[in-house]
Structure 1
Amino acid sequence: MAWDLKATSKRLLYALTGGPLALLGLAFALLVLLPGLVASLTLIGLPWLAVGVRAARGPAAAHRWLVRVLLGDRIEAPPRPKKGFLAALTDAPGWRALAYLVLRLPSALLATVVTAFLCFEGLVAALYPIWSRFTVFPSTTDENGAHLVTLTIDDWTMPEWLYVTSAGVAGLLMLAAAPWVARALILPDRLLARALLRPTRASRLRQTRTQAMDDSAKDLRRIERDLHDGAQTQLVALALALGMARDELVEGDADAALRLVDTAHQGAKQALAELRDLVRGIHPPALDTGLRPALQTLSARSTVPVSLNFDLPDRPSPAIETIAYYTAAELLANVAKHSGARRAVLSIQQTRPGWLRLTVRDDGIGGARAAPGGGLAGLTQRAGTVDGRLELVSPPGGPTVVTMELPVQT
């Protein structure tokens, strides 16, 4: 109940402050657009526009913060801007931010005016039975000359107790309706923020694929280093030992040759073990028989009891299977380490043609967050490399539900 009251208060605060902030945002947008467009044919206009468009990222970031803190919507920030005059002038997130500052004004003002009216008038009416006793109104008297606080229509006079009670009840109803009305009135602003303040699909794909290329380059350097320092060193030692054994056989010392062959044999086994570990990090051996058996094994090994629901008519491509497997492994590990859950459910199913949905749900304490650089952030980037997405819902007290949508084929 306390959490609901807190969320309601935040929504009311967002609705009440939306109008003034929208006016400030419109003033900023006009300050950028009007001088810039009017003087765009001069040397001053285009630089003014470039600086203004780049500066619009600031109000956009502030509004994303407000939406996250007051409404609970996490809107992903766009990629960092490129340097240069032309990049600033054609900065798509900046132009989208200016569009948001202009377009949100009508809905934000309406939400502020209506919510303020309901809250103020509702409070006044709810307290009417108290403050009306200490206020002198224009003369309304009964036959004995006593002052009345009531309503008279033609020849009928409402009993004073009924009028006072009705006013108080009407005020309470207005106060009760204010959060729901505010929630409905701020919905257009929420939708507009989601549409204009988050990265476009194209820019998100560019960002995630750039990150994927960087991660791939790091993985290749790691593999090269592991091969150079591990298996390659073992193979060099193996070749030297076999060469020395050959020399000993030529010289007729069979015992020394046997010892060298034994050393080479041990080195060969160690090199094979290192190569096997290296390959396991690239492709999980559990996926050799398919995603379903791999997830069954993963669920069985979990320290928290896991129920597996698997319903995929077609086998995904190897890249998708790898992403789904590592995602399930990471999420189940998080459940075991952080959630305090008694049980979890892992489900994977086809949601629409060509797409699958992987969901991990636990009955733990909740409150999970996708911290920058953390495991959930890494899973989000991994999903983005194939145009997938990850969603986290984890209110305090639970349950925690993590959903990843991926294409079946890449």
Structure 2
Amino acid sequence: MDKQAEGGFGRWHVLIAALVRAWAWRVLIAAPVRARARRELAYALMLPLMAGIGLAHLVLVWVSILLAVNLIGVPVLALCVRAARGLGTVNRRLARVLAGVRVSDPAPFRTGPGLLNRITAALSDVTGWRAVIHELVRLPAAIAAVAAAAGLWGGGLLLLSCPLWGRSSTLAYLSPNGLSPNGWPDAVLMSAAGLALLLLAPWGVHLALTPERALARSLLGPGPGDTRIRRLEQARALAINDAVARLRHIERDLHDGTAARLVTLAMSLGMAQEELEHAHDPDRLLRARALVDGAHHATKETVAELRDLIRGIHPPALDQGLETALATLTARTPIPVQLNADLPERPASAIEAIAYFCTTELLANVIKHSAAKHATVDARMTDGLLSLMVRDDGVGGAAMKPGSGLHGLAARIRTVDGTIDIRSPAGGPTVITVELPPHL
């Protein structure tokens, strides 16, 4: 019975493993491939239409350029460039939805008032001219993709249905050595070849669309200059918002903390002054001394609070360099922190401040959320970049969520074209690496 039970268990184990493999093949491989194959086949079938429209548009552009010699075709050329931008938008969306191309939208068309400004803006529209170039250079790529789709899918279906059309009287005139199969063995072989073509068709069409995807990414998206300008605009907006948030934070700290303490201090000194007017009374004199002692203690606390506030704006230790500031910061951390610093040259003061506040935020997250017992901070120059790595032995699970401290930290880092990498699997350890340019 034990052997029979063991044999039955083995058969069930094999059956379950086969079902799992079949499910994995269908869900993880076959289904995505089929969905992608349908989209890419639809894209390849639309290529002749879009390429034909582009070719007709190129003819109009060429005619308008010829007419522009006599200034007659200048407005027509401007309209053609604007139309090219529209065609580029259609091609970009098709490539994004059907071909799976990750391409961003370029900057919107901007123009001033008046006909002359519109014509000038259209003629100098880089996005429109890039779309014209795309229409020209995509023709060979479109032809290759359409030929691959027709050859693989069409040829595969044609060969797969060989037993049906081979027996029809319509193609009976073909010789046995031609397309018409010479009997069932040849028909089976050609059907097998057709099935093989159909199995290879998704991968073949995907490969044939590679030039088309590359052209869409390079010519239909924002240009390198536009990307840089947009990044700088975002960095400027982030820097302004960060500065406003910091000013509001300082204002709130001064109003709710220091200002309130100073008001209390003034009231205590005023009450002490009133008590001193009756210094001949021993009880009043004792109350005056108590009020003065309280004011003295409150003054010390206010000075300490102001020091902390000033240190938050610009740590004095940064005047001696980032390495000294990080050593002071790690020494004040409640958990043991090992600092490894190798900074042969000082970065710019703004970069040092960002690196210092990044370390402050990351160590604060370690203390609050990670339940770590030990942390390590590495600061060094690597490949011309200031690399800052904070590692802890906590529970892990750190993620960059909207509104979180890490999300705000990443926004601040991007203002100087820096990067942040977060590796925090469940159970730890957490390793967060920040890379900053040493100079602005």
Structure 1 and Structure 2 fold alike (TM over 0.5): yes
Q: Deviations over 1:145-185 (max 9, x none)?
A: xx95169xxxxxx9555555445434544443221232344
2:276 aligns with one of 235, 243, 249: 249
Identify unmatched segments of 5+ residues in structure 2: 1-27, 370-374, 424-429
Measured against aligned partners, the alpha-carbon deviations of 1:19-54 in whole angstroms (never above 9, x if no partner) come to 7557667888979x959x969989x959x969x869
Percentage of matched positions with identical amino acids = 32
Q: 1:339-354 counterparts in 2 under 5 A? A: 350-353=381-384
* CA distance 1:266–1:80, change in 2 (3 Å): farther
Give the aligned partner of residue 101 of structure 1. Answer: 131
Structure 1 residue 408: Cα displacement: 0.8
Following superposition, the deviation at residue 132 of structure 1 comes to 0.8
Contact persistence 2:326–2:356 (CA under 8 A): no
One-letter amino acid matched to 1:5: V
Matches within 5 A, 1:9-408: 9=37, 12=40, 16=44, 20=49, 56=85, 63=92, 67=96, 71=100, 73=102, 75=104, 78=107, 95-128=125-158, 130-136=160-166, 137-140=171-174, 148-149=180-181, 161-194=188-221, 196=223, 199-202=226-229, 204-249=231-276, 251-252=278-279, 253-272=284-303, 274-276=305-307, 278-279=309-310, 281-283=312-314, 289-290=323-324, 313-324=344-355, 326-327=357-358, 350-353=381-384, 355-356=385-386, 378-379=408-409, 381-386=411-416, 388-390=417-419, 405-408=435-438
Distance in 1 of aligned mates of 2:144 and 2:247: 59
Do the aligned partners of residues 167 and 22 (structure 1) sit closer, same or farther apart at CA in structure 2, a change above 3 Å counting?
closer
Task: Give the C-alpha shift of residue 309 in structure 1.
Answer: 9.1
- Tell whether the 8 Å contact from 1:245 to 1:257 is kept in structure 2 after alignment: yes
Deviations 1:250-295 (A, max 9, x none): 5313212122123324533553454355345435799765576589
CA distance in 1, matches of 2:297, 2:225: 56
Higher helix share: 2
Query: Secondary structure of the equivalent of 2:209?
Result: helix
| Native 8 Å contact 2:85 2:128 kept in 1 | yes
- Count of residue correspondences: 381
CA distance in structure 2 between the aligned counterparts of 1:70 and 1:361, rounded to whole angstroms: 40
Shift of 1:134: 0.6
CA distance in 2, matches of 1:128, 1:289: 72
The answer for the alignment partner of 1:5 in structure 2 is 33
Moved more, 52-61 or 256-265: 52-61
For 1:186, what is the secondary structure of its paired residue?
A: helix
Conserved 8 A contact 2:388-2:434: yes
What is the CA distance between 1:66 and its match in structure 2?
5.7
Question: SS of the counterpart of 1:121?
Answer: helix
> 1:348-375: per-residue Cα shift (whole Å, max 9, x none)?
764533x345689999999x8886x776
Which stretches in structure 1 are left out of the alignment for 5+ residues?
A: 152-157, 339-343, 395-399
The structural deviation recorded for 1:192 is 2.8
CA distance in 2, matches of 1:389, 1:212: 13
2:216 is matched by which residue type in structure 1? D
Assess, with a 3 A threshold, how the Cα gap between structure 1 residues 300 and 235 changes in structure 2: closer, same or farther.
Answer: closer
Q: 1:279 to 1:162 in 2, by over 3 A?
A: same
Please report how far the alpha carbon of residue 248 of structure 1 lies from its aligned counterpart in structure 2 after TM superposition: 3.0
- The DSSP-based 3-state class of the residue aligned with 2:146 is helix
Contact 1:22 1:101 in 2 (8 A): no
Rg larger for: 2
For each residue in 1:356-398, what CA deviation from the matched residue of structure 2 results, as whole angstroms up to 9, or x when unmatched? 45689999999x8886x77676555423433x1447899xxxx
Aligned 8 A contact 1:122 1:174 in 2: yes
Cα separation, 2, equivalents of 1:66 and 1:247: 82
**Residue-by-residue CA offset, 1:180-212 (whole Å, 9 max, x unaligned):** 232344223212345528734345325522542
Equivalent-residue separation in structure 1 for 2:367 and 2:165 (angstroms): 64
The aligned amino acid for 1:219 is R
**Alpha-carbon contact 2:330-2:339 (below 8 Å) kept:** yes
Q: CA RMSD in A?
A: 6.0
CA distance in 1, matches of 2:332, 2:75: 61
Paired residue type of 2:294: T
CA contact (8 A) 2:95 2:213 kept: no
Distance 2:173 2:261 in 1: 105
Is residue 383–residue 390 contact of structure 1 (8 Å, CA) maintained in 2? yes
User: In structure 1, what is the Cα distance between the partners aligned to 2:93 and 2:421?
Assistant: 17
Instruction: Determine the C-alpha separation between the residues in 1 that align with 2:221 and 2:104.
Output: 7
Partner of 1:341: none
Contact 2:152–2:197 (8 Å) recurs in 1: yes
* TM-score in terms of structure 2 length: 0.59
